[in-house]
Structure 1
Amino acid sequence: MNETNLAVVAHGKDDLRVDELAAPTPAPDEAVIRIAYGGICGSDLHYWTHGAAGESILREPMILGHEVVGTVQAAAADGSGPAVGTPVAVHPATPKPVEGVRYPESRPNLAPGSTYLGSAAHHPHTEGAFATFVALPTRMLRTLPAGLSLRGAALAEPASVAWHAVSRAGDVAGKSVLVVGTGPIGALVIAVLKRAGASSITAVDLHETPLRIARELGATDTILATEVDAIAAVQADIAIESSGNYRGLASAVRGVARGGRVVMVGLLPSGEQPALISLAITRELELVGSFRFADEIDDVLAALADGTLTVDPIVTHEFAASEALEAFSVALDASVSGKVLLRF
């Protein structure tokens, strides 16, 4: 590893830098990964623009990034994990229980003490993987199926979030679905719904660019978010809220049929939020949360490899990691961008 190890680091609010780091020193159960691509997530943008993502507040500089793929540069010393040269995707979570806090063991994404790459939820922070070289536990690594390129697998992590959200909706085959918010996660939700056999998919967003991407992915109808009456007239069997805004949640509640289910995958700000609870009660709606994912990344990689999951239209921009500030600025403007990739 004679190359410079460049990393994208949030030093605080409005302070994003590309720093040169020392080569990583792996633990015995860690492999050194040469990162190929990293997708910029909303949480990365929040750390840059606010110095926090929800209640996760930056207390010190932190490497960003959890949507990454790369190649094994050095295998783990303990013999676990893939060999040198293996292309891998990364599952960025480390489930961790907390004594006295209950959750279903079959749903490790709900473990209350969990850490996630590139997260300031705990202190010391969990460093991310937006770097040329990173040391990662081999349990996080997923070998890419034959025929799937690193570029083709670059959206595996956010697609897993979308896959999990659709699974929370139940059986969507033959059903009508309203997707509110068609940024990268909402667009991936549409792609997963298309694969799962939804009969119709109506996409809602404030901007034309994400609605165009939604149509390319299989949305049968698109509506501007300002057209409140048109959204209410949809009466979908299922609504999936992906905007992370209370107004989007209101649109989902209004646009789903009586007795329908609303899956909430967009993370609203912490604290109390206004919501149309009276409509949810009188229409007997099911409001269902969806948080990250468990092991869906294995199914996603298989679907990307066999071509049944199409995600190409979602990536609108690609920048060299050295141009991270420009890349983040483009990603921040939802009217012109979908998923923005960093190339390492």
Structure 2
Amino acid sequence: MTTRTTTAVVARGAGDLRVERIDVREPGPGEAVVAVARGGICGSDLHYWQHGAVGESVLRAPMVLGHEVSGTVVRAAADGTGPSEGTAVTVHPATYEHTDVRFPEDRPNLSPGVRYLGSAARFPHTEGAFAGEVVLPASMLRELPAGLDLRTAALAEPAAVALHAVSQAGDLSGKRVLVVGSGPIGALVVAVAKRAGAAEIVAVDLHGKPLDIAEAVGATRTLRATETDAIAAVDADVTIEASGNHRGLASAIEGTTRGGTVVMVGLLPGGDQPVPVLHAITRELRLIGSLRFNDEIDEVIAALADGSLAVDPVITHTFPVGDALEAFTVAADASMSGKVLLAF
């Protein structure tokens, strides 16, 4: 039997990104084959390309990137699970393995046994989904409602990250919200906060382009990251830190009102971080971490379909997969892009 191949985006090491042909393996009983239509470039994809690593997850072998994808089922799972052939889907990119390490059972995102598409956290690495055809567990697939296009559906995964972060803060109705870092995740946080009923949403970033996007999805005011006094004066009830930078976290703490909440969704580098923790203590701030998501993707899909979550301005560029290197270069420049998609 002839082995089928497909075009994929592969990271081979720091600075080494290639578009190449890879084999499409035969699916197991609970696996489906999906023809990928769109894939969103994530910050983790950029790190694997630029540095050959994301934190402690270091490339030890070539790996297909990508975990923000939408497409169509071209071969349903043989055991009858999951969507049927021809169904438009997006993907929840996590699977879970048993572990003896304790974590809350209702929060599987905290399990050390999680495997995420396009991740070098373990070896062999978990291959990603930036490929023309991918074999995935049927349990990962989420059927798209009628009217939700594959382009918008490619944002379901990062929007679920944003929804999980906002949910960590509780009810936002009538609240003043500060979003520090207005890249794709920050912009999606703005959109989610608007849907959640926030009265004011102040977006912060170093660059003008992300702030324009933040305004388009619901920010009522924007500030440059260099305007530290103005950020401190925001006096937000809830702040979402989405920059992944210690200066951003410092601004988040400074800009939050006494008794307020700071949700940290931006991944800071490992090691100690110089931030004004004293202010968090004397103001009795709640500092809460936020990691990926659980079932929030289902709510996101419904909200994208009914129009209550408006995210289209977050997508700024789409490139054919053959131009992946150019797409990654554009995605890495926050001054000129929001979410960059690959078309397969």
CA distance in 2, matches of 1:206, 1:245: 12
DSSP 3-state at the match of 2:187: helix
Determine the structure 2 residue equivalent to 1:334: 334
DSSP 3-state at the match of 2:160: helix
Determine the structure 2 residue equivalent to 1:274: 274
Q: Percent identity?
A: 67
Determine the structure 1 residue equivalent to 2:157: 157
CA distance in 2, matches of 1:113, 1:290: 17
CA distance in 2, matches of 1:317, 1:4: 27
Number of paired residues?
343
Determine the structure 1 residue equivalent to 2:25: 24
Determine the structure 2 residue equivalent to 1:52: 53
1:260 aligns with 2:278: no
Determine the structure 2 residue equivalent to 1:7: 8
The Cα shift of 1:19 comes to 0.8
Determine the structure 1 residue equivalent to 2:87: 86
**1:1-344 to 2 correspondences below 5 Å:** 5-99=6-100, 101-344=101-344
The letter for the 1-side match of 2:218 is G
DSSP 3-state at the match of 1:157: helix
Q: Once the two structures are superposed, what CA deviation does each residue of 1:21-57 show, in whole Å capped at 9, x if it has no partner?
A: 1223111110000000000000000000000011100
Q: CA RMSD in A?
A: 1.2
DSSP 3-state at the match of 1:192: helix
Q: Once the two structures are superposed, what CA deviation does each residue of 1:41-80 show, in whole Å capped at 9, x if it has no partner?
A: 0000000000001110000000000000110010111111
CA distance in 1, matches of 2:4, 2:184: 32
DSSP 3-state at the match of 1:152: helix
Deviates more, 1:287-296 or 1:2-11: 2-11
CA distance in 1, matches of 2:25, 2:46: 25
- Divergent runs of 4+, >3 A: 1-4
CA contact (8 A) 1:35 1:68 kept: yes
The letter for the 1-side match of 2:48 is Y
CA contact (8 A) 1:156 1:297 kept: yes
TM-score by length of 2: 0.98
CA contact (8 A) 1:24 1:32 kept: no
The Cα shift of 1:2 comes to 10
Q: Once the two structures are superposed, what CA deviation does each residue of 1:292-311 show, in whole Å capped at 9, x if it has no partner?
A: 00000000000000000000
Q: Once the two structures are superposed, what CA deviation does each residue of 1:117-152 show, in whole Å capped at 9, x if it has no partner?
A: 000000100000000000000000000012111112
The Cα shift of 1:112 comes to 1.1
| Closer, same or farther: CA 2–319 of 1 in aligned 2, 3 Å | farther
Could you tell me which runs of 5 or more consecutive residues in structure 2 were left unpaired when the two chains were aligned: none
CA contact (8 A) 1:24 1:133 kept: no
CA distance in 2, matches of 1:238, 1:168: 10
The Cα shift of 1:3 comes to 8.3
The Cα shift of 1:237 comes to 0.3
The Cα shift of 1:217 comes to 0.8
CA distance in 2, matches of 1:3, 1:22: 6
The Cα shift of 1:97 comes to 3.9
The letter for the 2-side match of 1:206 is L
Deviates more, 1:34-43 or 1:4-13: 4-13
The letter for the 1-side match of 2:238 is I
CA contact (8 A) 2:4 2:23 kept: no
DSSP 3-state at the match of 2:237: strand
CA distance in 2, matches of 1:59, 1:340: 26
CA distance in 2, matches of 1:21, 1:94: 23
Q: Once the two structures are superposed, what CA deviation does each residue of 1:304-332 show, in whole Å capped at 9, x if it has no partner?
A: 00000000000000000110000000000
